[in-house]
Structure 1
Amino acid sequence: MTSRVLTLRMDGALLERLAQHAAQRRMTLQDYVVRALARDDFDQRFRASVERTERFYDS
């Protein structure tokens, strides 16, 4: 898998909170943010799949 660069601009307070959450989990800030984004992406895809299944069986 290739990696690419994503630059984010965020509020300093949010950055500090994210860094604290990452430190509590003994993760780098980068790893913490990537994992959070991947988890959110999975949740959205799972929800969409459930909705499609429900529509299929309701038809």
Structure 2
Amino acid sequence: MGSTVLSLRIDGELLDRLRQHAAKRGMSVQDYVVRTLIRDDFDERFATSVEKTEKFYGAA
């Protein structure tokens, strides 16, 4: 899998908050944002899987 560049324009206050969150975890802002997106994507896919499973088995 290759990588692609994504450029964002964000508010200075948001960038400062992202820097603080990333620093607490010993991460760069880029790594923090990527991990957050990956986690959110996983959560969404997991919720979809649960919904499909409940529909298949007929949730109580």
Q: Please, what TM-score do these two structures have when normalized by structure 2? A: 0.92
1:58 equivalent in alignment to 2:58: yes
Separation (CA, whole Å) in 2 of partners of 1:9 and 1:46? 30
Structure 1 stretches of 4+ moved >4 Å: none
How well do the aligned residues superpose, as a CA RMSD in angstroms?
1.2
Q: Please, what TM-score do these two structures have when normalized by structure 1? A: 0.94
Q: What amino acid sits opposite 2:3 in the alignment?
A: S
Separation (CA, whole Å) in 2 of partners of 1:9 and 1:48? 30
Equivalent in the alignment of 2:6: 6
- Structure 2: give runs of 5+ residues left out of the alignment: none
Q: What amino acid sits opposite 1:54 in the alignment?
A: E
Size of the alignment, in residue pairs? 59
Separation (CA, whole Å) in 2 of partners of 1:52 and 1:11? 38
Equivalent in the alignment of 1:35: 35
Separation (CA, whole Å) in 2 of partners of 1:20 and 1:46? 29
